[in-house]
Structure 1
Amino acid sequence: MAAAALATKPKHQPRHQPKHQPLQKKPLPAGRPREWYETHNRRLKAMRLAIALLDTGVYHPDMAPNRKIRTTAARIGIHPPSDLTCAMVRALIRYGR
């Protein structure tokens, strides 16, 4: 009897449909020095890696040596980061706590 009652319950219906739309990519501003673009892309890469590490339970910079950061980069499908980018990842983890 109890099994029949469980089988007839309706599935959970959300109250509202989420209206998430992907962000539109905008081109980077033209006319800036090359170093600005390199730094911008390095920061984006460091943020992606910091988020991926936080998702795996790395909450302290000491838990993120260069090797772990590069392994995470390979796992999420981005090119291996430089030593400078690894340092930026640790800084983001440090200041994000």
Structure 2
Amino acid sequence: MADLNDVREHMEVIGADGAHVGTVDRVEEGRIKLTKKDSGAEVEGAEGAHAGHHHFIDGGLVAGVEGDKVRLSANADVAVAFETEESGDPV
């Protein structure tokens, strides 16, 4: 797992395959909070019903920070399946 202290607001979150997953709002409790506007809803396999509110990516999925991008250890479609909501429940 990469150091979440390197993750900054507005960084792009990408899967291991380079596909867009979301945009960082902030880091909270060891998870990356994605912006409401860009919470992975456009990634193939994401559920549209979950658009419009924050989704979270567990910090354990972060492989590294490369410039202004946060790269995950899983491909984007897999990472979206692991997103959680504010309560910690799966999306």
TM-score strictly above 0.5: no
- More strand per residue: 1 or 2? 2
TM-score under structure 1 length normalisation = 0.23
The higher relative CO (CA closer than 8 Å, separation ≥ 6) is in 2
Which one has the largest radius of gyration?
1
